[in-house]
Amino acid sequence: MIALENLTVRFGGIVALDAVTAQVSAPVSGIIGPNGAGKTTTMNVISGFLTSSGSVTVDGVDPMQMPPHLRTRWGLRRSFQREQIADDLTVAENLWAIADNLAGSRATKRADIETALEFVGITAIAGKPGARLNTFERRLCDLARCVTGNPRLIMLDEPAGGLTVEETARLGDLITAIPDLGRAQVLVIDHDVDLISRICRETLVLDFGRRIAFGPTSVVLADPAVKAAYLGIEADHA
C-alpha cells in the first residue's frame, strides 16, 4: 500500500503539491488531472528527484530514507513521459542495465530478464539495438525494464504516449497483468481516460497540486468536481 501523507512540494513560490493525502491500495491505480496538476511531480518525489515535506510510505517503508539510486534495488521502478531506451544498447542490454543494479547472482538476473522479456512479449527482439526500435517497441522495452527483478512499486508516466489504439490496448492488458507476476503495485499516469478506467481500480485526481478526488475509478470519473477541473469551470460544491 502506498500512503501519501500531507505530501507538499514547493518550487520557490509555486506549490506544486499541496498537502496531498491518500492511501492507495489497489493493484493498479491511476493518477489523473489537467496539465500541471502535479502528477509527474508526485512520481518525481518518490523517485527522489525533489525535496518535499510530508511523507510517503510504501508497505510501511519510507523510501525517502534511501539515496535515489538505491531505491531501485529496494524495488522501485519508473518510466517517464518520453521513453528512455539507450540507443547504444540492445533490448536485452537495456534490461541488463537495470538488472546490474539489483541484488542477486548473475544467473538469477538472467532468469529475471528472460521472464520480463517473455511477459512483455519482446523476446524475439532481445538482440535488436535500441536505435532501431520503433515507438511501440521502445514503450514495451521500458515496461520490460520496469518488471525486471520482482519490483515492489512500478510508476508509469504516460506509458501509452505515441501509441495507436491497438497498441494502447495491448499495453493496458500487460499493465493489468503485472500484479499477478509478483508483489508489484502499479501507479499509472495518463491522459487517456478510457485506458485509466479500464485498468485502474482506484484513481487519484489532482488539480493545481491538490487532491480533488480519490476512490474507485468509475465513481471518481463521475464526480462533478473532477469534470469541472478538466473543463475549467466552477463546481457546485468545490
Partner 1 sequence: MREILKSLLLWVALVGVLALALGHGKPPNVLGLFIVSGLAVGSLYALGGIGLVVLYRATGVLNLAAGAIGAVAVMVAWQLVQWGIFAPLAWVMGLALGPMLATAYGRTLASRMAWREPVVKAVASLGFAFVLLGLVSFLWSDDPRKFELPTDKAAVMLLGLRVTVTRLVVVGATIALVIGISAALDSTRIGLQMRALANNRRLSSLIGIPITRVETLAWALSGLIFGFTGLMFGDLVRLDPSVITFLVIPCVAAAIAGRLQSLPDVLMGGLAMGVIESLLTLSDTFKDVRPIAPYVIAALVLLLMNRGRHLTFSGED
Partner 2 sequence: MRISRSGLAGLTLAVIAVLVLPMAAGGQWLKIFTSTTAFALAAMGAGFMYARLGMVSLAQVGLMGLGGWITLRLNHAYGFPFEVNLLIGAVITSVLGMVLALPALRMRGLYLALITLMVAGGLEVIFTAHQFPNGGAGFWGVGTSFSATMRRPALGQSDESFLRYALVIAVLGFLLIDAHLRSRPGRAWALIRRSEAAALASGVNVTLYKTWAFGLSGLLAGLGGGILAASLGLLDAATFRASESVLLFALVVVGGARFWLGAVITAVLYRVAPGLLNNWGVDADLALVFFGAALLHAVITAPEGIAGQIFGLFKMEAANDRA
Q: Does 159 bind partner 2 (CB under 8 A)?
A: no
Q: Work out which of 29, 40, 41, 90 binds partner 2, going by CB under 8 A.
A: 90
The whole-angstrom separation of Cα 150 and Cα 152 is: 7
Task: With H, G, I as helix, E, B as strand and everything else as coil, classify residue 234.
Answer: coil
160 phi and psi, to 5 degrees? -100, 15
Q: What is the DSSP letter of 61?
A: B
Q: Does 181 bind partner 2 (CB under 8 A)?
A: no
The whole-angstrom separation of Cα 221 and Cα 176 is: 19
135-147 vs 91-99: helix axis angle to the nearest 10? 30
- Using CB distances below 5 to 8 A depending on partner kind, what does residue 34 bind out of partner 1, partner 2, none? none
Shortest separation between residue 51's beta carbon and partner 1, angstroms: 7
Q: Does 87 bind partner 2 (CB under 8 A)?
A: yes
Shortest separation between residue 173's beta carbon and partner 1, angstroms: 29
**Which lies closer to partner 2 via its Cβ, residue 122 or residue 221?**
122
- Using CB distances below 5 to 8 A depending on partner kind, what does residue 51 bind out of partner 2, partner 1, none? partner 1
- Cell 499477478 appears where? 180
Q: Does 65 bind partner 1 (CB under 8 A)?
A: no
The closest alpha carbon to 64, from 40, 48, 43, 44, belongs to: 48
Binding mask 96-135 for partner 2 (x = CB under 8 A): xxx-xxx--------------------------xxxx---
CA distance readout (Å), 183 to 57, 59, 214, 218, 220: 16, 11, 23, 25, 26
Residues that bind partner 2 (CB under 8 A): 47-49, 68-73, 76-78, 80, 84-90, 93, 96-98, 100-102, 129-132, 145
Residues that bind partner 1 (CB under 8 A): 48-49, 51, 68, 80
